Amino acid sequence: MSNQNGTPLDETSSHQTSRRRLLKAGAGIALTALAVPTLSSTAIAHFPENLDIDVKPDNDSNEIDRSSRGVVPVAVLQTDEFDPTSEAIRYRFGSPAAVESGGGACPVHEEAVEDIDGDGNDDLMLHFAVQDAGFESGETEAELRWERDESGEHGLSGRDSVRIVGDNEKHENKDDSMKTDEHKHGNDHQHGGEHQSEDEC
């Protein structure tokens, strides 16, 4: 059988099927092309958890009184993947939720370079104001983020367990949380120059 133009119906049907397949393939390529920027923009803001940190290295409880006006020491330990003593000081510390939303505390005082974990490598000791860290009572983790550049879109992160207590909660190491201005290791190996803390994280 033929259509009005004299073309066999089976040939016409074959042409229509091929045309539909071509249109579907083209649409699939277009959708894939549109999806690439979305995936890339998501990856830009990703902070892999590659930092090895130790909150309050001399305190096993890692207790932080969120009502304290003091500071909390945080050690950034040197690993094969990351040497904190050779990178810019761009850190934010505090509640994971606060840090993820762009908040958290910036380093205060001058940083110190010393071997915190006794492995023979220099580590970086930083201090952060407790009241800027955004902790809530009952939280069990603290996060530290290092920003690779000033855009704040690339970097690394690390977490450590903590015990956050509030204004009226009793805790065993209250005095310890108020004595963090001077770490017991001292500042014998303070490192200046390019490692001066910046006004912005």
pLDDT in tens, 5-52: 555 545 545 545 444 454 444 444 333 333 333 223 333 457 899 999
**pLDDT: which is higher, 133 or 44:** 133
Torsion of CA 25, 27, 30, 31, to 10 degrees: -110
Report the C-alpha gap between 15 and 36 in whole angstroms. 32
Rg of the chain in Å (alpha carbons): 28
Closest CA to 93 of 45, 130, 124, 59: 130
Give mean pLDDT, residues 131-152.
Answer: 94
In this predicted structure, the answer to whether residue 72 has a pLDDT above a threshold of 50 is yes
Amino acid (1-letter code) at residue 12? T
Coil, strand, or helix at residue 34? helix
Helix, coil or strand: residue 31: helix
Position 4 pLDDT exceeds 70: no
- Mean pLDDT, the chain, rounded, equals 75
Mean pLDDT value across residues 121-143: 97
Residue of 64, 69, 75, 81 lying closest to 173 (CA atoms)? 64
pLDDT in tens, 155-192: 999 999 999 998 655 444 444 444 444 444 444 434 44
Query: How does DSSP assign 157-183, residue by residue?
Result: EEEEE-EEE-TT---TTHHHHT-TTS-
pLDDT of 200 reads 59
Q: What is the pLDDT of residue 47?
A: 87
pLDDT of residue 152: 86
CA distances from 104 to 22, 34, 94 (A): 53, 35, 5
For 79-108, what is each residue's pLDDT tens digit?
Answer: 999 999 999 999 999 999 999 999 999 999
